[in-house]
A and B are shown apart, each in its own frame.
Chain A
């Protein structure tokens, strides 16, 4: 019975059907299924499948966004019960994202946010043209693990450097990691400004973030 339910949950995410996912989440609560189990064995399996399918080009961005919406809908129903039971879903880590000051290119950053959040990271998206102070304030506020700065213009890449300097001035690194991306960003630039990593696309950004989290966890400073 439960297996069938978990299967249906998975499918509702893959189909990108938020109403269906909410219904199944309610059904789980009504029939006494552990909400964390519902996430881990049902919905989260679906989102992982969707992410993988996207990664290999079988699913497309609108599909992936719909899956992410369905996931959100299910979590919204299950969350109060999870909190009550004190069983928190493990997030992979907290990431603050934004584009550098003066840069309005946000498609790449949004894509990175979608993939990371679909894969279990908690994303705090500050939007476009974000100042170093705003990055620092948000990172402090949410106790972020990673700050990601996107810049597509050669004129705004200096903003990535400014954010990293501001993070350092506030002694947030090395515990917190700073990563960068964008069309003209190279490994050389990343090294020059002392970034903890960079990636050329969203799928690599996921790998990068996971690796950094492993680093952070090994240092024993990450949230349990």
Chain B
């Protein structure tokens, strides 16, 4: 039996979905201008609102999406798909109860293990995270984990997302969980992946990456979010909805209410996506959290946050969709007991829930700061969680007579000599997760014992020492560079144009 956890059950899921469908009609969903035509041609009533803020373009509207259309769109979503590594092997299976982990994305800071201070993250930090992630089997995929603040010296900050992918692809063979910060940023990123895969067609058939796309709570597929959804659907590159209702702040205070809002946002996203590209892969994902009533923050380590993530994924599973969640992160500023407790707890819960992709490892300070020392620690919690999720296994052929214990006792009698049994040698690696040197189980010896942070630092050094950079063909690297230069040029031109505009008007 594979152990599992459910928080909702079919009756409550039914109520959640039924209210989510109601929300899609009333009050409806705010959508970006790029989607208005598409929705109208599918018969959706879109009222175009007056311009309420600058980031909403003139033709932003509120769509009232009827359930039958959503149901039709749900039906065209692939129930499962794979992400491939550079060798073309299926590495990540989005679907069923398969569980994978990747490091959290887009932190702006890095915990410096020497000073214990958070400082702005740089390219060297991203490279180190990628190296460690590459070496750890617990991570099925890479992520564009930290912002490279140093790149801004040479490159326009507007293409920071492209630059991160550029760095990750050069240092890793694994699949990548990534995302674009702007409506225009996606094109270059897809080009980069296509260059790596050997063409857009190949990328579509064997996708190497999935793109996180975020609605803005509540019920708003903003200009850039909806733009990204449509572009991904048309390109046939997998999208992952990361809806982030904050219970009590940007969503109903009740967990059930927030799960309902999440469902409505995800359903709306799927509708936009499938209308633009029926059959394109998309993941029912999110980073829901409670709203901290003291600080206004999004406490990613709170148990209620984990409950929200599990519940949202449960709704997605009920619909038969691939799932994603944000767990294994903490609100602590150090890699301390709070960080360990919060991250280990949610890793366990996520694995038991059978969520296909669980992002968040390595993250401190409510997703603002990354630590590579935490990442190696989280890998241990993840491995334990994966072990737990495998459950208690009854071995077949390896054990004589298919018994649980009697056949082994038949050999040992009352001698207690189990260590010598060939079954022990054959099975201990399956029965036990064998932790790395990070976990201390040693007897006290002559050396003074070390604390876990010290061991984590050593583990990072050890992994980085063993890491080998993949060798990419020269022509691919040249293509990468050309795409980066091209997009940098575009971004500079756009910045210059908007500056001119702003100076002339103020």
Which A residues are within 8 Å of any B CB, using their own CB? 54, 57, 60-62, 101-102, 104, 107-108, 110-111, 127-134, 136-137, 153-155, 157-158, 162, 166, 169-170, 183-184, 186, 201-202
- B295 x A62 contact (CB < 8 A): no
Task: Tell me the bound Cα distance from A183 to B157 in angstroms.
Answer: 16
- Nearest 9 CB-CB pairs, A to B? A129-B55, A60-B293, A184-B108, A133-B506, A129-B54, A111-B296, A61-B293, A183-B368, A166-B506
Provide the residues of chain B in CB contact with A62, threshold 8 Å. 248, 293
- B249 x A107 contact (CB < 8 A): yes
- A184 x B502 contact (CB < 8 A): no
Closest CB of chain B to A34's CB: distance in Å?
36
Provide the residues of chain B in CB contact with A111, threshold 8 Å. 296
Provide the residues of chain B in CB contact with A133, threshold 8 Å. 502, 505-506
- A154 x B147 contact (CB < 8 A): yes
Q: Which of B53, B291, B506 has the most CB of A within 10 A?
A: B506
Task: Tell me the bound Cα distance from A154 to B291 in angstroms.
Answer: 23
User: At the interface, yes or no: B181 with Cβ under 8 Å from chain A?
Assistant: yes
Can you list 19 contacts pairing A with B, beta carbon distance less than 8 Å?
A54-B294, A61-B291, A61-B294, A62-B293, A101-B54, A102-B182, A104-B55, A128-B55, A129-B55, A131-B502, A133-B502, A133-B505, A154-B157, A155-B181, A162-B499, A184-B108, A184-B109, A186-B120, A201-B295
Closest CB of chain A to B135's CB: distance in Å?
28
Given contacts A107-B249, A155-B181, A184-B108, contact A169 B503 (CB under 8 A): yes
Nearest to A55 among chain B residues (CB) is: B294
Task: Tell me the bound Cα distance from A129 to B55 in angstroms.
Answer: 6
- B503 x A155 contact (CB < 8 A): no
- A127 x B249 contact (CB < 8 A): no
Task: Give the size range of B's interface with the partner.
Answer: 20 to 34
- B53 x A128 contact (CB < 8 A): yes
Provide the residues of chain A in CB contact with B293, threshold 8 Å. 60-62
Known contacts A57-B294, A101-B54, A133-B502; 16 additional CB pairs below 8 A are A61-B294, A61-B296, A107-B250, A128-B53, A128-B54, A132-B502, A134-B54, A154-B147, A154-B157, A155-B181, A162-B499, A170-B506, A183-B108, A184-B108, A184-B149, A184-B368
User: At the interface, yes or no: B271 with Cβ under 8 Å from chain A?
Assistant: no
Provide the residues of chain A in CB contact with B55, threshold 8 Å. 101-102, 104, 128-129
Q: Is the interface of B mostly helix, strand, loop or mixed?
A: loop
User: At the interface, yes or no: B383 with Cβ under 8 Å from chain A?
Assistant: no
Provide the residues of chain A in CB contact with B152, threshold 8 Å. 154
Provide the residues of chain B in CB contact with A107, threshold 8 Å. 246, 249-250, 296
Closest CB of chain A to B159's CB: distance in Å?
9
Task: Tell me the bound Cα distance from A24 to B27 in angstroms.
Answer: 37
Closest CB of chain A to B371's CB: distance in Å?
16
- B120 x A129 contact (CB < 8 A): no
Provide the residues of chain B in CB contact with A202, threshold 8 Å. 296
User: At the interface, yes or no: B158 with Cβ under 8 Å from chain A?
Assistant: yes
Tell me how many residue pairs across A and B have CB atoms closer than 8 Å. Answer: 74
Closest CB of chain B to A178's CB: distance in Å?
14
Given contacts A60-B293, A133-B506, A154-B157, contact A127 B250 (CB under 8 A): no
Provide the residues of chain A in CB contact with B291, threshold 8 Å. 61
Provide the residues of chain A in CB contact with B149, threshold 8 Å. 154, 184
User: At the interface, yes or no: B222 with Cβ under 8 Å from chain A?
Assistant: yes
Task: Tell me the bound Cα distance from A101 to B54 in angstroms.
Answer: 8
Task: Tell me the bound Cα distance from A131 to B295 in angstroms.
Answer: 27
Nearest to A153 among chain B residues (CB) is: B181
- A155 x B157 contact (CB < 8 A): yes
Identify which of B160, B181, B182, B506 contacts A136 (C-beta below 8 A). Answer: B506
Closest CB of chain A to B58's CB: distance in Å?
14
Which B residues are within 8 Å of any A CB, using their own CB? 53-55, 108-109, 120, 147, 149, 152, 157-158, 160, 181-182, 216, 222, 246, 248-250, 291, 293-296, 368, 499, 502-503, 505-506
Nearest to A103 among chain B residues (CB) is: B55
Nearest to A63 among chain B residues (CB) is: B293
Closest CB of chain A to B179's CB: distance in Å?
12
- A155 x B182 contact (CB < 8 A): yes
Closest CB of chain A to B197's CB: distance in Å?
27
Given contacts A104-B55, A108-B296, A134-B54, contact A155 B160 (CB under 8 A): yes
Nearest to A101 among chain B residues (CB) is: B54
Given contacts A57-B294, A184-B120, contact A129 B108 (CB under 8 A): no
Provide the residues of chain A in CB contact with B157, threshold 8 Å. 154-155, 157-158
Provide the residues of chain A in CB contact with B506, threshold 8 Å. 132-133, 136-137, 166, 169-170
Task: Tell me the bound Cα distance from A130 to B502 in angstroms.
Answer: 12
- B54 x A131 contact (CB < 8 A): yes
Task: Tell me the bound Cα distance from A154 to B296 in angstroms.
Answer: 21
Task: Tell me the bound Cα distance from A155 to B246 in angstroms.
Answer: 23
Provide the residues of chain A in CB contact with B505, threshold 8 Å. 133
Closest CB of chain A to B33's CB: distance in Å?
15
Task: Tell me the bound Cα distance from A60 to B292 in angstroms.
Answer: 9
Nearest to B220 among chain A residues (CB) is: A104
Provide the residues of chain B in CB contact with A166, threshold 8 Å. 502, 506
Nearest to A203 among chain B residues (CB) is: B295
Task: Tell me the bound Cα distance from A104 to B294 in angstroms.
Answer: 21
Closest CB of chain B to A127's CB: distance in Å?
5
Q: Which of A57, A61, A201 has the most CB of B within 10 A?
A: A61
Closest CB of chain A to B162's CB: distance in Å?
12
Task: Tell me the bound Cα distance from A145 to B31 in angstroms.
Answer: 36
Task: Tell me the bound Cα distance from A166 to B182 in angstroms.
Answer: 24
Task: Tell me the bound Cα distance from A111 to B246 in angstroms.
Answer: 15
Provide the residues of chain B in CB contact with A155, threshold 8 Å. 157-158, 160, 181-182
Task: Tell me the bound Cα distance from A183 to B298 in angstroms.
Answer: 12
Task: Tell me the bound Cα distance from A104 to B295 in angstroms.
Answer: 18
Closest CB of chain B to A44's CB: distance in Å?
23
Task: Tell me the bound Cα distance from A128 to B224 in angstroms.
Answer: 15
Provide the residues of chain B in CB contact with A137, threshold 8 Å. 506
Nearest to A135 among chain B residues (CB) is: B506
- B216 x A130 contact (CB < 8 A): no
Given contacts A129-B55, A155-B182, contact A162 B502 (CB under 8 A): yes
Nearest to A108 among chain B residues (CB) is: B296
- A127 x B108 contact (CB < 8 A): no
- A129 x B296 contact (CB < 8 A): no
Nearest to B296 among chain A residues (CB) is: A111
Task: Tell me the bound Cα distance from A130 to B506 in angstroms.
Answer: 14
Nearest to A57 among chain B residues (CB) is: B294
